[in-house]
Amino acid sequence: MNIIVEREASTNSTYVAKHSRKLTKYLAGCLFFSVGAYLFINSELGTDPLDTFALGVLRHLPLTVGIVQTSVAVVCVAIVALWARRRPLVAPLLTFFLCGSLIDLERKLDWMQGVDVPHIAVLTVATVLCAYGSALIIMSGFGIRSIDLLAIEMTRKWRWPFWIGKGVIEMSLLVTGYLLGGPAGIGTVFFLVGVDLLIQPLIRASTKVLGLVNHGLPDRARAPHV
């Protein structure tokens, strides 16, 4: 009897430890991504397409970045659910709302105000943070960003490379956001090129160098290799 109890306790302990590590990766990913996004916005040299869209919408409606990003997530998740004919995933909505709300908080605190750092350094750090944040969120296996989720579904449905599917989504957000008055510039180029290209290498480095477990979606599509 004691052996059974000990085995059950060990199993429960392993389960809790495993999910705690996944949650830690997820929350760290959201934090890194939001800090990077804030740095893009603070640089005033252009930001990622989603924030370009969100800030463009805020010029016309009294909303928040978190609410606008969650609305985008709802659309992406709904499309994936219709295409795949399965129930909509909830976790991606949480990710966009959490990251968007953290960006709202950072903009309110404006902790970079008065800090004199070369623009190229700010954009470089922002790019790495957003890329590594995305990598950690994917590796956690929880709450994959809805844009990535939709891009993976496009890869499966149309046999497109992952980066093309994601690029189509992000360019759509960028053009719409820019027409609404959202910021776009060299920072946007840094995001589109740097972040998308760095995610895959950072996932590989995290697994091979840091020994982090990739709980992502390896069987959903070959292109992202996650």
pLDDT at position 15 is: 46
Handedness of CA 155, 157, 159, 160 (dihedral sign): negative
Kindly give the interhelix angle for 65-84 and 91-109, rounded to the nearest 10 degrees. Answer: 160
pLDDT at position 136 is: 92
Contact 112/103 with Cβ under 8 angstroms?
no
User: What digits encode the pLDDT tens for the residues 212-222?
Assistant: 888 764 534 34
pLDDT at position 80 is: 92
Q: How far apart are CA 141 and CA 215, in angstroms?
A: 5
Mean pLDDT by 10 residues, the chain (226 residues): 50 59 91 94 90 95 91 93 88 88 92 86 94 91 85 84 84 95 92 85 89 66 38
Q: How far apart are CA 177 and CA 181, in angstroms?
A: 6
